Amino acid sequence: MATIFSKIINKEIPADIVYEDDRCLAFKDISPQAPTHILIIPKKAIERVALAQTEDEGLLGHLLLTAAQIAKKAGISETGFRLVINNGKNGGEAVPHLHVHLLGGRALTWPPG
């Protein structure tokens, strides 16, 4: 399904891109929930983690390792950060293109709402 994130990948609409390689793209969330709020998305249009396939195993790992590298670059690796993947209606998913939220720069509460 073509989403707003496909348009960001294809550079049809602008985004504040912080990292890009052949498999993924990372950009600042338009509505940040923490001082650092970056979305890491695969270029492959996987709708949500529940629909990822065995063949996506390496790509999923790449998203997490990339998030950790971006956290380091953003200076929040030592203080701590949270990675979130919302899946489906009850998970709070709004955009049906898999994305990892990287949140940090402040103490985050638990449990989530």
Interface residue list for ligand 5GP (CB under 6 A): 4, 15, 27-31, 39, 86, 92-95
Q: Cβ closer to ligand 5GP: 71 or 93? A: 93
Q: Cβ closer to ligand 5GP: 39 or 71? A: 39
Q: At its nearest, how many Å lie between ligand 5GP and the CB of residue 105? A: 15
Cβ neighbors of 99 (< 8 A, separation 6 or more) are 5, 39, 40, 41, 85
Cβ neighbors of 76 (< 8 A, separation 6 or more) are 36, 104, 105
Rounded Cα gap, residues 97 and 46, in angstroms: 6
At residue 65, the 3 state secondary structure works out as helix
Catalytic site residue 101? no
Q: Cβ closer to ligand 5GP: 32 or 75? A: 32
Q: At its nearest, how many Å lie between ligand 5GP and the CB of residue 99? A: 6
| Active-site residue (options: 37, 62, 97, 99) | 99
- Among all residues, which ones are annotated catalytic? 99
